[in-house]
Amino acid sequence: MSEKIAVHWFRQDLRIKDNPSLEAASKCDSFIPIYILDDTNSGEFKMGSASRWWLYHSLNKLNESLGGSLRLFKGDPCEILPKLIEDYSVSNVFWNRCYEPWRIDRDKKIKNELETNNIIVESFCGSLLWEPWNISKDDGTPYRVFTPYYKKGCLNASEPRLPISEPSFENISKKDNVSDNLESLDLLPKSNWYAGFEEEWNPGEKGAEQNLEEFLEHGLLNYKEGRNFPSQKFVSRLSPHLHFGEISPNEVWYRAKTKETIPGIDKSLAHFHSELGWREFSYYLLYHFPDFPSVNFQKKFDSFPWKENKDLLKLWQSGKTGYPIVDAGMRELWQTGYMHNRLRMIVGSFLVKNLLIHWLEGEKWFWDCLVDADLASNSAGWQWVAGSGADAAPYFRIFNPITQGLKFDPDGEYTKKYVPELKNLPNKYLFSPWEAPKEILESSGIELGVDYPEPIVDLKISRELALEAFATTKKEVNE
């Protein structure tokens, strides 16, 4: 009997533990672990700069875990895989499924071609709790609203599978390691604007485990309320680890569940699980509605009179809007590759409702700047805040950056961290510095328009304009 040689194709599952495809490959006589950077088929969804920084470090950590045996390639998997299979007499190819439309199309093409050539191809669920095609309404159609999707669909379906243990690597192929090296993937951006990322993040499986453990010990108990306050450490910060698959959602789901006996934790635990459910819902929408990243889910927004204003967009991107809580969020994004979820809602609302700039512009900026940039979650988040998405906030719900700052950063700790030019301003005026008396500004070392910008729009007027714009849209109803 000939030797059974397998390929495990790492994609968005850059981990050893709880990796169904890797486990299957490890049961063959020998297996070759590979990663292919595919900038060919991704088109407009080519990985952004911050994500590429993360991927560089994650692949480095993964290779260490594999004893230096990870083969790296850059190019079209449709060409790379058949050559690899021929060179190494591979009989089986394994991977964990991805759900972006371009990846689904590519993977179907690869699978059909390989099976035609008598290669066994198996794929697994390694990044979701529930497969999108297994959850549907009673009439078989997909859900369009989160609450029934999660409570009636997911929670009444089979429980997520239990995590599996780390496989053995004794049979990793020892044949010549023909591959590109990490540097040749050209992942690190030319400009070292990501210098601050390394102080904030530890990419890789161990970093994911550390974040989870820290959250379960110190954040989960107060998660439901505490998650709204950006200066407090009550969020998990697991989103980039989950996106790159450095930890599985199954591991996170069940590890959190082990805390259910702690007194008073029930509401926060349920809320954290539901947030994992939101992640699932984003992928569910992307799977069932493949144009979700670029097309309004609610068609009435197709006639919305968005404005093009590159100057205002640039001020928003650079955190110079004159609204401190908005600027703090945008500067956190630039400096750390991340933004607290409360701030994502605030800055998103400001862009699409106070500036009337299309949500796609915000989505593109986040795509390039976020280490957790994720096609499903990014699209769902921006459509939600714009009012055009599934389960979206009503369009007339316009976040007021002054009241949001006062409510969720009352001591100004977060805002002053990222907008240090206002650090001496009394909290009473921190979120509306233009209202501060001249002597207060002077004693705080601030000259508006010089040390910190004047507001780029008037909140009241821009709100009225947004509501007028919304009133012009066609009141179409999704069927």
Report whether 93 contacts 120 (CB < 8 A). Answer: yes
pLDDT band at 1; cut points 50, 70, 90: very low
Q: What is the mean predicted confidence (pLDDT) over 154-165?
A: 96
Q: According to the model, what pLDDT value does residue 392 have? A: 66
Per-residue pLDDT tens over the stretch 69-113: 999 999 999 999 999 999 999 999 999 999 999 999 999 999 999
Catalytic position from the list 306, 309, 421, 427: 306
Q: According to the model, what pLDDT value does residue 324 have? A: 98
List of domains in the chain: 5-126 (3.40.50.620), 128-162+204-288 (1.25.40.80), 299-471 (1.10.579.10)
Q: According to the model, what pLDDT value does residue 475 have? A: 53
Query: Can you say how many angstroms the Cα of residue 85 is from the centroid of all Cα atoms in its chain?
Result: 33
pLDDT band at 128; cut points 50, 70, 90: very high
Q: What is the mean predicted confidence (pLDDT) over 27-44?
A: 96
d(CA 280, CA 88): 37
Does 378 participate in catalysis according to the annotation? no
Catalytic position from the list 60, 171, 202, 341: 341
Name the token pair of 338. 């991340």
Q: According to the model, what pLDDT value does residue 109 have? A: 98
Tell me the pLDDT of the chain averaged across its residues: 95
Neighbours of 48 (CB within 10 A): 21
Does 177 participate in catalysis according to the annotation? no
For tokens 């795509």, what's the residue? 367
> What is the helix (H) or strand (E) element at residue 216, kind and residue range?
helix 205-218
Res. 479: pLDDT tops 60 = no
d(CA 85, CA 252): 35
Q: According to the model, what pLDDT value does residue 191 have? A: 83
Q: What is the mean predicted confidence (pLDDT) over 250-260?
A: 98
Catalytic position from the list 122, 166, 275, 421: 275
Res. 57: pLDDT tops 60 = yes
Query: Can you say how many angstroms the Cα of residue 36 is from the centroid of all Cα atoms in its chain?
Result: 20
Per-residue pLDDT tens over the stretch 387-410: 999 876 677 889 999 999 999 999
Catalytic position from the list 359, 365, 367, 384: 359
Q: Kindly report the pTM of this predicted structure.
A: 0.95
Neighbours of 231 (CB within 10 A): 15
Q: What is the mean predicted confidence (pLDDT) over 414-425?
A: 98
Res. 174: pLDDT tops 80 = no
Give the distance between the most distant pair of CA atoms in the chain.
88
d(CA 175, CA 196): 39
pLDDT band at 354; cut points 50, 70, 90: very high
Does 316 participate in catalysis according to the annotation? no
Query: Can you say how many angstroms the Cα of residue 104 is from the centroid of all Cα atoms in its chain?
Result: 19
Q: Of the ranges 18-32, 225-239, 392-406, 421-435, which one carries the lowest mean pLDDT score?
A: 392-406
Does 278 participate in catalysis according to the annotation? yes
Strand partners, 124: 96
Catalytic position from the list 102, 193, 278, 434: 278
Res. 385: pLDDT tops 50 = yes
Q: According to the model, what pLDDT value does residue 74 have? A: 96
Catalytic position from the list 209, 382, 384, 400: 382
